[in-house]
Structure 1
Amino acid sequence: MLATVRDPERAGALRAAAPGAEVRRLDVTDEESVAECFAGIERLDALVNNAGISNFDPTLEMSTAEALRANLEVNFFGTVAVSRAAMPLLRASGGRLLTIGSVHGVIGQPFNEAYCAAKFAVEGFMESLAPVAAAHGVRVSVLVPGYVPDTRFGIFPDVNRRTVQAASGPYAETFAAYGERIGAHWAGAGQPAAEVAEAVLRALAEERPPFRIPTGAWAAAYLDAKLADRDGTAVQRLARDWIGHTERPL
């Protein structure tokens, strides 16, 4: 088993949890780093794309092109770069390509446009790749977690509530309402990272895994709602409820 980290000096917990794993440095945004990471690998049975960030900008008007590009570079282009490097090895072994997506790669989230854009791109890319890869012996799946509080992503509501409060502007009231409502909405809905890891192992062991795999009931319910919402009305109504907005006639 091969595990990767961007900074090997901070890999102590990883090495302790998986003492038999080889740990290599990998920066998914650096093509040279990707090539070095895959150097010398002769056989690969499965790849799990797990690198991700969320630059949770308060609003479109306050966001920066740099933050948008950073989301896409890691979450989308990084995933593509690693998958490209792995594909020849996976074709040779008849292996698996698993990517950790997000419920917000299927359903949009207010005030998180850049992250959602990147995860939507991952969904579309992998969905398009899957039939071609399958024709050459590689099974492609996207795992769809919901809210996973015991990751760094779990801190973003507090961080950005402070951001908006510090920058008094036209969206501050809306974001404050969102912060209150989304906290109540997510209460009790979180899924431990260990459960997501178990879902990865099940997908790797399954003979014919489906393309899209929700990792818990909460994510599955959101997928059901989105995929049955042909014109987007239900999802927009849900998002408006998150920010405490009642639709006004134009």
Structure 2
Amino acid sequence: MTDTVLVTGTSTGIGLATAIAAAKAGWRVVATMRDTARSSALLEAAATAGVTDLIDVRALDVTDAEAAAACVDEVVRDHGRLDAVINNAGAGHLGTLEQESIDEVRAVFEVNFFGMLNVTKPALPHLRASGGRLLAVTSVGGVVGQPFSESYCAAKFAVEGYLESLAPVVGAHGVRVTVVEPGAVASEFVTNVGFDPAQVDAAGPYAPQLRNVLNHIGDAFSSAQSSEDAAAAIVDTLTADKPAFRVQTSEVARTFNATKLADMDGSAVQAMTTEWVS
């Protein structure tokens, strides 16, 4: 029987590329997205790759816990098993605490953190049964806190902390856990943040710092990794005999995260990110 992987957030970007790459590697891919009316790009890519018969598109809003549980149950009912979950669905966010509501911060967590939990919780019994894999696409922003991305980074930090803590617990039952950390990836991710650079002046006293950070982001994305390259690293991890807990999808991401992981007193990260706002 073909192994089955559920991938969230597959309408664009890394999720779409991962669904195609996993199908090309021989997996039955349950490709979920909030609105299946946006599935045309995925289905066209599947047809081009000759893997249409391995792609099963389903609607899922990961912020809806009941829908997530129902989706997992239906996957197991229809395909007989669940061997892996790739929690990819997420959304970027730019803003700073003084100028946004706490409800806006909570909304970032609902998608990026609680959405992962909503899918993972009902999946775990099935992953224990199959000795399966649990992956979450986080970000270098899940390791290094970045100016004006406080809420997004905090949510991704939460994902990494939660799964780092969970990994040995479920690992005792044969479930391998990995967090995958891309850096800048050429996709619709930045566009979907929904921030209008023309509104920089609305940042008041923080406007100069925000303008500098936006310039830094533009520079980073001018040499971004492709979604396909990031997806290749994800599928390599999915199929590895002994996957690492923490995986970066590019050398840029590895170098960037190494700054934090070797930064015992926090001074190296603060020096780096202070340059971005100066």
Q: Give the TM-score normalised by structure 1.
A: 0.91
Which secondary structure state, in structure 2, belongs to the residue aligned with residue 171 of structure 1? helix
Match of 2:195 in 1: 159
2:90 corresponding residue in structure 1 = 52
Q: Map 1:137-176 onto structure 2 (within 5 A).
A: 137-153=174-190, 156=193, 159-165=195-201, 167=202, 169-176=204-211
Cα distance between partner residues in 1 of 2:59 and 2:253: 31
Matching residue's letter, 1:50: N
1:216 is matched with which residue?
250
* Of 103-112 and 27-36, the range deviating more from structure 2: 27-36
Q: CA offset at residue 181 of structure 1?
A: 3.6
Instruction: Flag the 1:33–1:75 CA change in 2: closer, same or farther, 3 A.
Output: same
Q: For 1:108, what is the secondary structure of its paired residue?
A: coil
Q: CA deviation at 1:155?
A: 6.3
Compare the two structures and name the one with the higher helix fraction.
Answer: 2
The structure-2 alpha-carbon separation of the partners of 1:180 and 1:16, relative to structure 1 and needing over 3 Å to count, comes to closer
- Paired with 1:153 and 1:131, the residues of 2 have a C-alpha distance of 34
Where 2:97 maps in the other structure, the secondary structure is: coil
The whole-number CA distance in structure 1 between the counterparts of 2:250 and 2:191 is 17
Give 1:188 shift. 4.7
Which amino acid is the alignment partner of residue 194 of structure 1?
E
Q: In the TM superposition, what is the alpha-carbon distance from 1:151 to its structure 2 partner? A: 2.5
SS of equivalent residue, structure 2 residue 259? helix
User: Which residues in structure 2 correspond to 1:70-85 (within 5 Å)?
Assistant: 70-85=107-122
CA RMSD, 1 decimal: 1.6
C-alpha deviations, 1:75-106, integer Å up to 9, x for none? 00010110111111100000100110100100
Deviation at 1:168, TM superposition (A): 5.8
**What whole-Å deviation, never above 9, does each CA across 1:36-85 have from its counterpart, x for those lacking one?**
2112313111110000012212x221112222111100100010110111
Distance (whole Å) between structure 1 residues aligned to residue 186 and residue 247 of structure 2 = 19
The one of 18, 32, 35 equivalent to 1:7 is 35
- 2:31 counterpart of 1:31: no
Give distance in 2, aligned partners of 1:181 and 1:26.
34
SS in 2 for 1:222: helix
Query: What SS does the aligned partner of 1:230 have?
Result: coil
How far did residue 147 of structure 1 move?
A: 0.7
Task: Give the one of 81, 88, 104 matched to 1:43.
Answer: 81
Letter in 2 for 1:228: A
Q: 1:178 aligns with which of 207, 210, 213?
A: 213
Query: C-alpha separation between the residues in 2 aligned to 1:206 and 1:231?
Result: 34
Q: For residue 12 of structure 2, what is the aligned residue in structure 1?
A: none
Task: State how 1:217-232 maps to structure 2 within 5 Å.
Answer: 217-232=251-266
Structure 2: which 5+ residue stretches go unaligned?
Answer: 1-28, 47-51
Amino acid aligned to 1:24: R
**Shift of residue 153 of structure 1?**
2.3
Rounded to whole Å, the distance in 2 between the matches of 1:168 and 1:56 is 11
In the alignment, structure 1 residue 134 sits paired with structure 2 residue 171: yes
Moved more, 74-83 or 189-198: 189-198
Between stretches 15-24 and 225-234, larger displacement belongs to 15-24
SS at match of 1:116: helix
Kept after mapping to 2: 8 A contact 1:2/1:24: yes
The CA deviation at 1:23 is: 0.9
Bigger shift: residues 190-199 or 13-22:
13-22
- Secondary structure of the corresponding residue to residue 247 of structure 2: strand
After superposition, the Cα gap between the structure-2 partners of 1:187 and 1:80, relative to the gap in structure 1 and judged at 3 Å, is: closer
Change (3 A) 1:213 1:100: same
1:121 to 158, 166, 170: 158
Aligned letter for 1:149? Answer: A
| Structure-2 separation of matches of 1:188 and 1:207 | 35
Look up the SS of the partner of 1:80 in the other structure: helix
2:114 match: secondary structure? helix
Answer yes or no: is the 8 Å Cα contact 1:71–1:115 preserved in 2. Answer: yes
